[in-house]
Structure 1
Amino acid sequence: MSRYLPEDQQRIREIKENKKQYMELLLLADEQEDMIERYLERGRMYVLDDNGIKAECVVTDEGDGILEIKNLAVTPGFQRRGYGRQMIRFLADTYSGRYDVLQAGTGDSPLTLPFYESCGFQRSHVVKGFFTKYYDHPIYEGGRQLIDMIYLRKSLTAEKDPE
């Protein structure tokens, strides 16, 4: 995978205060605000600014060398233009050497699973019934109701494969 370019880093910046100002964008990736609030303050948030905010992501330290993408969203109208992939490259480059694995959990969606797999993630494990247990309403994506949480992992070390 190609690395992000130096000018990309100038466009990606960490948000340390007033993270909720991006709630509209956060809600694109996670429809329930109280679920977002569970990880937003403990996570590190980044935005990609390209003549306006085009993407955001929130990552958390899950222990045991695992950094988890809790939220990754691209502004409608700018999706499928490489902004999400650029955020993944940024995270991989920034956290390589500090973490062993970059992990993402998502529903069984025809939209998000192929995206993560195309970024080098491999399916790791499934949490059955996650979306029906923890969300107060049915979640649909790509015409499919999300029920199980599917975890994918990408190695951040050259020697190791995702577990």
Structure 2
Amino acid sequence: MNIRKLGAREELPIGLLLEADPSEQLVRGYCADGHCFIAERQGAVIGVFVLVALDPDTTEIKNIALAEPERGKGLGKRLVFAALEEAKNLGFSVAEIGTGNSSLAQLALYQKCGFRMKSIDRDFFTRHYEEPIFENGLQCRDMVRLDCRLR
């Protein structure tokens, strides 16, 4: 798996980005404000993450997604660690990430990668998304925010 910054003239892998965030408007907005990185294998995009500065010291991983056929192979963890390394390379000392209260696998993955729970933004998903989101038999309502020290 090769990871590189998406070129300015390259199209966003919008289908993959929408797997992690169902709002195309929000996705396009934060991709325009941040740094989009893609993971490729044999010329095919298999993963993506977007880093957006929150302040001079802190970046947020706004979106991270792996193509369905690539899941369950340990590549998600490699993608998270690559995002943390790129954040360090960009000069950030803290990385944050948010996920839904119903995203059980993601919550476990992020903690395995060194993130710690920071806060909960209650009703984030009901405020920002018109359609209800359901996952793992639960309604996704709250944003669970985690952070990781990079230095």
Tell me the equivalent position of 2:145.
Answer: 151
Q: For the aligned residues, what is the CA RMSD?
A: 1.6
**Does the 8 Å CA contact 2:53/2:59 hold for their aligned counterparts?**
yes
Deviation at residue 112 of structure 1 after TM alignment: 1.2
Identity %: 28
Tell me the equivalent position of 2:99.
Answer: 106
1:120 aligns with 2:107: no
> Where in structure 2 are the equivalents of 1:1-163 lying within 5 Å?
11-18=2-9, 20-51=11-42, 52-96=44-88, 98-108=91-101, 109-157=103-151
TM-score (norm. length: structure 1): 0.84
Name the aligned partner's letter for residue 126 of structure 2.
Answer: T
Structure 1 gaps of 5+ residues are 1-7, 158-163
**Does the 8 Å CA contact 1:19/1:45 hold for their aligned counterparts?**
no
Question: Equivalents in 2 of 1:40, 1:112: separation in Å?
Answer: 21
**1:92-149 deviations in Å (ceiling 9; x for gaps):** 2233271111110110121211111111111001111100001010012222211011
Deviation at residue 85 of structure 1 after TM alignment: 1.4
**1:49-91 deviations in Å (ceiling 9; x for gaps):** 1122111001100005111000000001111212221122222
**1:25-69 deviations in Å (ceiling 9; x for gaps):** 000000111121220111100111112211100110000511100
**Does the 8 Å CA contact 2:80/2:113 hold for their aligned counterparts?**
yes
